[in-house]
Amino acid sequence: MAIPLTPKLEKYFNRLSIKSRFFNKLLSFFFMPFVHKSGLKLNFVEDDYYAILPKRRMNQNWYGTMAGGAILGNSELAAGSYLFMLSKGEYRMVCTSLNYRFLLPSLDAIMYKAFVDVDELRKKIQAGGKFNIDMTIKVFRTNKEKATRRIGAGTISFHMWPIGN
């Protein structure tokens, strides 16, 4: 059951989740349970953004590698979280296209690095209204928060619109 929020309260919670890891984790429990259960950890730093998906029983397949569905589902969440941070929680978004290429299996945790043309995004945000934005994502095998080998890459498109519209 969805919890209805006023636009003002929604923006407040969005900003709070960007500023505080504790509130990010708490709010994800209620509003994004898949992120909470999968264990996706976000590093909200604008110039060095990354997300880490730990290897858990929920995220792996029967032969011990990271499940492809977990990699794909969390790649959308990792890229969307980066856009969420860059837009300062002022926009809602939906993934309209995801094109991913698997290169290697992963026996370890996964690190997502998302890339977007920040200048183009800022121009679109300043213009206001609805817009589409494309980004790329690279996925790495990781040990203790250090990317060791790229295992996949993809392109993602999002449709974004301001909260309250």
DSSP 24: H
Computed on alpha carbons and rounded to an integer, the radius of gyration of the chain in Å comes to 16
Distance CA 159, CA 122 (A): 15
Distance in angstroms (rounded) separating the CA atoms of residues 146 and 44: 16
Query: Would you tell me how many other CB atoms lie within 10 Å of the CB of residue 128?
Result: 11
pLDDT of 165 reads: 67
Q: Which amino acid is at 58?
A: M
CATH 1.10.357.10 fits 7-162, yes or no: no
- CA atoms in the 13 A half-sphere facing the CB of 52: 16
What are the residue boundaries of the structural domains of the chain, listed by start? 7-162
The answer to whether 68 and 106 are in contact (CB under 8 A) is no
CA distance 73 to 108: 17
CA-wise closest residue to 36 among 6, 56, 19, 66:
56
pLDDT tens track for 85-100 = 898 888 988 999 999 9
* pLDDT for the residue numbered 1: 47
Residues 44, 20: Cα–Cα separation, whole Å: 10
pLDDT for 18 = 76
**Low-confidence residues of the chain: pLDDT under 70:** 1-3, 36, 46, 144-145, 147, 165
